[in-house]
Amino acid sequence: MTDLAVHFEGVGKKYRHFTLDDIHLELPTGSIMGFIGPNGAGKSTTIRILMGLVHQDRGSVRVLGHAMPKDQALAKQQIGFVSEDLRLYKTATLAWHMGFIRSIYPTWDQAYAEQLLRRFDLKAEQRIKGISHGQRVKAALLLVLARRPRLLVLDEPTTGLDPVARQEVLGELMEVLADDERTILFSSHNTLDVEQISDQITFIDQGRIIDTGDKEGFLDRWRRIRLDVPAEVAPPVLPGVMKAGGSGRLPVVTTNRFEPAMAAAYQHAGVTVLAVEPMTLEEIFVANVHWRREGGIS
Amino acid sequence: MDMHSHLVISKADGRPMYLQIMEQIKQRIAVGDWPRGEEIPSIRQLAVALRVSVITVKRAYYELEREGVIVTQHGKGSTVADGADVSPRLWDQELAQHLDQVVRLGTLLGLTPEQLESRLRDAANRFTEESS
């Protein structure tokens, strides 16, 4: 028995205009991973490989202990996947979809499904084509949640939702996590959602994982430091300091390896530290992407 | 018991979420909402109720345990520490934060520590006069 729900090792996939390169991912059972990247970064390709929908050229993928894509039939019994295109039949009602899924998956929980109908403010008798985008997203989520899968894989689940619907969805994802045997991986470019509920965070850009780790670690390591550098003083070059902004006398540096000793090192060199500021996940993500694109290594 | 639903996390508050959780738990304990020796929500229960990451609540509990405010027994959950001495500590922390802020502003204004000291004494005198 493994305690990793998802494990990618050295996974690669080459397309004509895009390469997914050397992907390593570890998602412990019982946690949520937010998978963040700009459009076209490789989020959906990675998720498709995870689901066995796209076959990797190299590397190994294990999902709930099953080798992918070889054992995908077994794995998929226990995975709930909501893709961006939702895959609902427009002319059918939500009730029809519920009956259909129920007939395929023995783990379907009808009482929970009815609870979700109320919490998501959905009507089972409505046809999919007659409801809004937000309601379709919630309908698709209901259909996978009520199966109580051990792993939920959600491609951009909160994109296009209004604030009320977003909080309903995030709340429901947290309810899933009340059971520590269940695991969620969701991709998003909404860093606020990821910051709120994720335990693990992975940044992807241009087909490569540029950073991965637990959220608290991320938020702890990154700081923006505002300095006051007198004209005659040359500011020291400290490890992990990546970007200088601001004007000549008042530079602002960003670091991904903050420790209190850094402030002391600046003071020691005659530089005044005006402020040490925590950064939001969004700021960390953008700084990280720019830094890596300019050739930075950790 | 639905005692965790009282905590409310602010997203506009600039401080990290784990610090907000710590502070609110200390306040519950200080006012007696969460009595000493009493069991408190599990990490997962509180995370679900607040809709924040399990790892964030775990961090808050870990820090609270290090401060001696709660006791976590592996596999048994967490309780408020018998000797949890919360209120003075809470004010003390707030004071430390304000002092840091004073020093920062003082540095910006180019004040020496001696000048800061005398300003602080002035403020203390003013406060005594006003409240007498």
Q: Are strands A32-36 and A200-205 parallel, antiparallel or unpaired?
A: parallel
Q: How far is B103 from chain A (nearest CA, A)?
A: 10
Residues of B in contact with A219 (CB under 8 A): 16
Beta strands in chain B (DSSP E): 39-40, 70-73, 77-80
Residues of B in contact with A166 (CB under 8 A): none
Which tokens sit at A176? Answer: 């899933």
pLDDT digits (tens, 9 = 90+) for A12-44: 999 999 999 999 999 999 999 999 998 889 999
B56 within 8 A of B9, measured Cβ to Cβ: no
Q: What is the mean pLDDT of residues A115-123?
A: 94
Beta strands in chain A (DSSP E): 4-14, 19-28, 32-36, 58-63, 66-68, 79-82, 151-155, 183-188, 200-205, 208-214, 223-228, 241-246, 251-255, 272-278
Task: Determine the Cα–Cα distance for residues A71 and B67; give it in Å rounded to an integer.
Answer: 48
Check if A272 contacts B (Cβ < 8 Å): yes
Q: Given a cut of 90, is residue B58 above it in pLDDT?
A: yes
Q: Given a cut of 80, is residue B5 above it in pLDDT?
A: no
pLDDT at site A247: 67
Q: Given a cut of 50, is residue A1 above it in pLDDT?
A: no
Whole-model pTM over 0.90: no
Task: Determine the Cα–Cα distance for residues A243 and A102; give it in Å rounded to an integer.
Answer: 54
Check if A31 contacts B (Cβ < 8 Å): yes
**Residue type at position A61:** V
Residues of B in contact with A200 (CB under 8 A): 55
pLDDT confidence tier of residue A128, bands split at 50, 70 and 90: very high
Q: What is the mean pLDDT of residues A144-166?
A: 92
pLDDT at site B41: 92
Which tokens sit at A88? Answer: 């609902």
pLDDT at site B10: 80
Between chain A and chain B, the number of residue pairs with CB atoms below 8 A apart is: 50
Please state, as a whole number, how many other Cβ atoms lie within 10 Å of the Cβ of residue A93: 18
Bridge partner list, A276: A225
Q: Given a cut of 70, is residue A51 above it in pLDDT?
A: yes
Q: How far is B81 from chain A (nearest CA, A)?
A: 25
Task: Determine the Cα–Cα distance for residues A118 and A203; give it in Å rounded to an integer.
Answer: 35
End-to-end CA distance of chain A: 33
pLDDT digits (tens, 9 = 90+) for B6-37: 788 887 777 788 999 998 998 888 888 888 88
How distant, in Å, are the alpha carbons of A171, B18, B46, B120 from that of B24?
21, 10, 12, 30
Q: Indicate yes or no: CB of A180 within 8 angstroms of CB of B14.
A: no
Q: What is the mean pLDDT of residues B111-121?
A: 90
A115 within 8 A of A166, measured Cβ to Cβ: no
A174 within 8 A of A166, measured Cβ to Cβ: no
Q: What is the mean pLDDT of residues A189-218?
A: 91
Residue with tokens 């226990």: A78
pLDDT at site B131: 73
Give which of B7, B25, B74, B52 is closest to A199, Cα–Cα: B52
pLDDT digits (tens, 9 = 90+) for B60-114: 999 999 988 999 888 788 999 887 776 666 677 778 888 888 888 888 788 888 9
Buried b (16+ CB within 10 A) or exposed e, B28-43: bbbeeebeeeeebbbb
In CATH, the number for domain A4-214 is 3.40.50.300
Q: Indicate yes or no: CB of A197 within 8 angstroms of CB of B53.
A: yes
Asked whether this complex has an ipTM greater than 0.90, the answer is no
pLDDT confidence tier of residue A84, bands split at 50, 70 and 90: confident
Query: Which carries the bigger pLDDT value, residue A248 or residue A255?
Result: A255
What is the location of CATH 3.40.50.300 in chain A?
4-214
pLDDT digits (tens, 9 = 90+) for A224-233: 999 888 888 8
pLDDT confidence tier of residue A95, bands split at 50, 70 and 90: very high
Q: Given a cut of 90, is residue A275 above it in pLDDT?
A: no
